[in-house]
Amino acid sequence: MDITELTLLEARAALRDRQVSSVELTDAYLDRIAALDPQLGVFVTVTGEEARAAARAADARRAAGEDAPLLGVPIALKDVLCTAGVRTTCSSRILESFVPPFSATVVERLAAAGAVALGKTNMDEFAMGSSTENSAFFPTRNPWDPERVPGGSSGGSAAAVAASLAPASLGTDTGGSIRQPAALCGVVGLKPTYGRVSRYGLVAFASSLDQIGPFAWTAADCALLLNVIAGPDPLDSTALPDAAPNYLAALDGDLRGLRVGVPREYFAAGLEPGVETTVRAAIDQLAALGAEIGEVSLPHTEYGVAVYYLIAPAEASSNLARYDGVKYGYSVAAPSLLDGYFRTREEGFGPEVKRRIMLGTYALSAGYYDAYYRKAQQVRTLIKSDFDRAFEQFDVLAAPTSPTVAFRLGEKVADPLAMYLSDICTIPVNLAGLPGLSLPCGFADELPVGLQLIGPPLAEGRLLRVAQRYQEATPWHRRRPALQPR
Amino acid sequence: MAISRDDVDHVAYLARLGLAEDERERLRAELDQILGYMQVLQQLDTSAIPPTAQVIPLQNVMRPDTPRPSLSVEAVFANAPAREEDYFRVAPVLE
């Protein structure tokens, strides 16, 4: 079989059994990237030379009798994660030639675990978007249908796995940016509890919402990656101080007696019939596996998008104030310092980033703070309380990840509000800081559909266990898109 | 409430964001539409609801003030658009 079809755990087993070397595996992925990425636009930067050197080092360690959790396993990284010596662009002109002097904690941990980084994946500029069309460089295409978007903002990382350009990848999720592209690309994506994974070296978008997480074909592969990246970090004071559990061990156990709540507001108007049918069938499958299904209400769901698009832009407008053309990044020489700020930011930022900076600055400005920003923070409390009440009755919530399957390139570009509403099922989870996972649960019109599982804080292990039992009982994650070099 | 061109100009100034003429008009219309959608929040009585700024149960995380190596000066300036000695060079602040 083609070694690029292996799951992460299968690849690791093949490396451990010396059936394949890291150099062979890495070369296979680099060859596939060279053949297919021109038509997909997954990678902003491919680090082939560095990857081959890391693969050779991994093989040498293996030959010396060493092992590590990801020794010799290739992986792709969203281009929002700082990589020392490798440019980190956030798919923005303003960081097009930025080479970080340090690496993100998750990047350090992957390297320490022996992983081989293949390159940096495309994204919506500064992670702002739901289709990866907001990249300043090029859009990423959905491997299942290149006329459609992969979702976003981590569209490159999701498509990398779906197209078998990497066995796994890391993305980030501020309002759905892991789960929504995972759903639209037919792979598993996990957004951990806020604080579970260090954000050090993650270029900030909305600091109270951002979280890093894995993409892979299976829940077990995500558990393996989460084992490596989760846990406290002295460099991030918002990283939770308690040690992370072993998520692979947490996969054990059946679903008998598991209480699964189905939030009725997530099946509201705007949900495509094909998505609803597929997701409801997946919930029936959980029942067949022993779960007890019940309906639940999260009454403030409809306010989530409005709350998010005040809070996230407000935080973004503050975080992005650092791009001033003085210390790093794109810079326009101007007669005065102030003029330089205006022109650097005018030329360096794309339309969606400007829109969010304007929206956030407006919401924080004198006279509007109470009506918009503070109001949004109060409704955030109500949204969180909805979940708190639901988890008194249920262990896990099950819902669609996205109200639609992958949409066509260009379809929502001219209507920002329509684009924002594509995050309606994922945003509340970030506002409440909860773990959420999307897994492939079937196809509608030959396009993947994602089932979203939501848990109480720190229930990543439970979500992964439910997903793993579901995947053992279903074939969806074994389908692969038909891709041919052109 | 409608967003005016003056609002756009004021907010763009606060954000130090240069905008072309056509961008200003487009953003005015878009902000008007988006903030109009946000009015849905005004349906809720939140007078007794505390705001949530962050969701984790941590406050004032402290650590010992232990010196450790920091980035070298060369690493810090490696991305600098303009440098003079060990300073970032900028255009005049005042004429």
pLDDT in tens, chain A (486 residues): 699 999 999 999 999 999 999 999 999 999 999 999 999 999 999 999 999 999 999 999 999 999 999 999 999 999 999 999 999 999 999 999 999 999 999 999 999 999 999 999 999 999 999 999 999 999 999 999 999 999 999 999 999 999 999 999 999 999 999 999 999 999 999 999 999 999 999 999 999 999 999 999 999 999 999 999 999 999 999 999 999 999 999 999 999 999 999 999 999 878 999 999 999 999 999 999 999 999 999 999 999 999 999 999 999 999 999 999 999 999 999 999 999 999 999 999 999 999 999 999 999 999 999 999 999 999 999 999 999 999 999 999 999 999 999 999 999 988 888 888 889 999 999 999 999 999 999 999 999 999 999 999 999 999 999 999 999 999 999 999 999 888
B63 to chain A: which residues are within 8 Å by CB? Answer: 234
Residue B81, in any domain of the structure: no
Cβ distance B58 to A195 less than 8 Å, yes or no, reads yes
Global pTM reads: 0.97
**Chain A closest CA to B3's CA: distance in Å?**
10
Tell me whether residue B4 is in a domain. yes
- Nearest residue of B to residue A320, measured between CA atoms: B15
The answer to whether residues A296 and A261 touch, using CB atoms and an 8 Å cutoff, is: yes
CB A394 within 8 A of CB A260: yes
Record: contact A378-B49, CB cut-off 8 A: yes
Output the pLDDT for position A308: 97
d(CA A71, CA A15): 8
- A416: contact with B, CB 8 A cutoff: yes
Q: Which of A325, A339, A417 is closest, CB to CB, to B34?
A: A417
Cβ contact, residue pair A331, B12, below 8 Å: no
Contacts of B90 in chain A (CB under 8 A): 326, 337, 340
Q: Has residue B80 been placed in a domain?
A: no
Interface touch A345/B76, C-beta < 8 Å? no
Residue B63 DSSP code: -
User: What residues 65-104 of chain A have any CB closer than 8 A to a CB of chain B?
Assistant: 98-99, 101-102
> What is the DSSP-derived secondary structure letter of residue B85?
T
Contacts of A345 in chain B (CB under 8 A): 15-18
pLDDT at A269: 76
Structural domain includes residue B59: no
Residue A96 near residue A38, CB atoms below 8 Å: no
Question: Region B57-74: what's the mean pLDDT?
Answer: 90
Residue type, A348: G
CB contact under 8 A, A362 and B11: yes
Residues in Cβ contact with A78 at an 8 Å cutoff, skipping those fewer than 6 apart = A120, A121, A123, A154, A156, A157, A169, A170, A171, A172
Residue A325 zone, left/alpha/beta (φ > 0; ψ -120 to 50; rest): left
Cα torsion A174, A447, A136, A102: sign? positive
Nearest to B78 among A101, A238, A340 (CB): A101
User: For the purposes of burial, counting CB atoms within 10 Å of the CB of A35, is it exposed (0-12), middle (13-18) or buried (19 or more)?
Assistant: middle
> What's the number of domains chain B is made of?
1
CATH number, residue B29: 1.10.20.60
pLDDT at residue B1 is higher than 80: no
pLDDT of residue A416: 86
Q: Answer yes or no: do A372 and B8 touch at CB < 8 A.
A: no
Catalytic one of A22, A92, A154, A177: A177
Find the closest chain B residue to A235 by CA distance.
Answer: B63
Indicate which of B3, B9, B16 best probes the interface with A, i.e. most A CBs within 10 Å of its own CB: B16
Write down the catalytic residue from A21, A22, A78, A91. Answer: A78
Average pLDDT over residues B12-33: 97
Provide the token pair at B27.
């953003």
Query: Looking at residue A9, what is its pLDDT?
Result: 98
- Chain B residues near residue A334 by CB distance under 8 angstroms: 91
Q: Is the pLDDT of residue B95 over 80?
A: no
Q: How far is B61 from chain A (nearest CA, A)?
A: 6
Contact check, Cβ <8 Å, A340/B76: no
Cα–Cα distance for residue pair B18/A310, rounded to 1 Å: 22
Residue B51 lies in a domain: no
A78 catalytically annotated: yes
- pLDDT band for position B57 (cuts 50, 70, 90): confident
Q: Map tokens 């232990």 to a residue.
A: B66
Range of the domain at B10: 1-44
CA of A475 vs chain B CAs: smallest distance (Å): 37
Cβ of A378 within 8 Å of Cβ of B12? The answer is no
Q: Which residues of A touch B38 (CB under 8 A)?
A: 306, 309-310, 372, 376
3-state secondary structure chain A: CCHHHCCHHHHHHHHHCCCCCHHHHHHHHHHHHHHHHHHHCCEEEECHHHHHHHHHHHHHHHHCCCCCCCCCCEEEEECCECECCECCCCCCHHHCCCCCCCCCHHHHHHHHCCCEEEEEECCCHHHCCCCCCCCCCCCCCECCECCECCCCCCHHHHHHHHCCCCCEEEEECCCCCCHHHHHHHCCEEEECCCCCECCCCECCCCCCCCCEEEEECCHHHHHHHHHHHECCCCCCCCCCCCCCCCCCHHHCCCCCCCEEEEEHHHHCCCCCHHHHHHHHHHHHHHHHCCCEEEEECCCCHHHHHHHHHHHHHHHHHHHHHHCCCCCCCCCCCCCCHHHHHHHHHHHHCCHHHHHHHHHHHHHHCCCCHHHHHHHHHHHHHHHHHHHHHHHHHCCEEEEECCCCCCCECCCCCCCHHHHHHHHCCCHHHHHHCCCEEEEEEEEECCEEEEEEEECCCCCHHHHHHHHHHHHHHCCHHHCCCCCCCC
A262 forms beta bridges with A295
Q: Tell me how long chain B is.
A: 95
How close does chain B come to A306, measured CA to CA in Å?
5
- Choosing among A358, A361, A375, which should be mutated to test the B contact, i.e. which has the most B CBs within 10 A? A358
B82 inside domain: no
Q: A380 at the B interface (CB within 8 A)?
A: yes
CA distances A359 to A365, A432, B19, B30, Å, are 10, 22, 14, 10
Q: Please pick, among A92, A153, A154, A198, the residue that the annotation labels catalytic.
A: A153
Active site residue A402: no
Active site residue A327: no
- Please report residues of B whose CB lies closer than 8 A to that of A309: 34, 38
Q: What is the ipTM of this complex?
A: 0.96
Q: Which of A281, A296, A280 is nearest to A395 (CA)?
A: A296
Which of B79, B89, B95 to probe by mutation at the A interface, max A CB count within 10 Å?
B79
Quick one: angle between helices A375-393 and A304-319, nearest 10? 120
Residue B56 lies in a domain: no
Query: In this structure, is residue B11 part of a structural domain?
Result: yes
d(CA A98, CA A146): 30
| Closest residue of chain B to A378, computed from CA coordinates | B51
